[in-house]
Chain A
Amino acid sequence: MAALSSTPVPRESADDGLSIVCRSMASGYRDKPVLHDVSFRVDRPAVYVVLGPNGAGKTTLFRTIAGILQPTSGEVLIDGVPVGDRAAREQLHYLSHMDGIPDGLTVRESLAFYAQVEHATEADVDRVLHQLQIEEFSGTFISKLSAGQRKRVSIARIFLKERKIYLLDEPTASLDPKVAREIREIILQLSKDRIVLYSSHNLFEAREIGEYVITLKAGALTLFDRMENVRATHFRIGVRALDSAPFLADWERSGDYYVRELSGPEQVPALIQDLQAHGVRLREVREMENPLEELFT
Chain B
Amino acid sequence: MANSDELPSLLGITVRRSLTVGRISLLIGTGMVVIYSAAFGFGGALLSTVGALVLPIFAVSGGLGGALVYTNDRMKGVLEYLASYGVSSRHLLLNAIVAGIVQATIVLSAGTAAGVATYLLSGNALTAQLPESLLAYTFPMSYLTVTMMTTVGVFWTSLASPRSGMNSPLGVLPLLGVMPTAAVLVVALALPAHGVQIALAAELVMFVVVLSLLARTDRFMPTERLLSPA
Q: Could you list which residues of chain A lie within 8 angstroms of chain B, going by C-beta atoms?
A: 29-30, 32, 59-60, 63, 66-69, 86, 89-90, 94, 96-105, 109, 113-121
Name B230's contact: one of A59, A103, A113, A119 (CB within 8 Å): A59
Docked Cα-Cα span, A68 to B80, in Å, equals 8
Q: Which residues of A contact B227 (CB under 8 A)?
A: 63, 68
Inter-chain contact B77/A120, CB cutoff 8 Å: no
| Inter-chain CB contacts under 8 Å: number | 96
Q: Of B73, B80, B81, which is in contact with the most chain A CB atoms at under 10 Å from its CB?
A: B81
Name B80's contact: one of A32, A96, A120 (CB within 8 Å): A96
User: Secondary structure at chain A's binding surface: helix, strand, loop or mixed?
Assistant: loop
Inter-chain contact B69/A100, CB cutoff 8 Å: no
Closest 5 CB pairs of A and B: A98-B77, A104-B20, A100-B77, A104-B17, A100-B81
**B23 shortest CB reach to chain A, Å:** 9
Q: Which residues of A contact B78 (CB under 8 A)?
A: 100-102
Residue B82 at the A interface, CB < 8 A? yes
Q: Which residues of B contact A97 (CB under 8 A)?
A: 77, 228, 230
Q: Which residues of A contact B230 (CB under 8 A)?
A: 59-60, 97
Interface set, chain B 1-55, CB cutoff 8 A to A:
1-5, 8, 10, 13, 16-21
Inter-chain contact A29/B224, CB cutoff 8 Å: yes
Q: Which residues of B contact A63 (CB under 8 A)?
A: 80, 227
Q: Which residues of A contact B87 (CB under 8 A)?
A: 117
With A96-B80, A101-B78, A102-B78 in contact, do A117 and B224 touch (Cβ < 8 Å)? no
Docked Cα-Cα span, A109 to B10, in Å, equals 13
Docked Cα-Cα span, A117 to B86, in Å, equals 10
Closest partner residue, chain A, to B162 (CB atom): A29
Docked Cα-Cα span, A94 to B84, in Å, equals 8
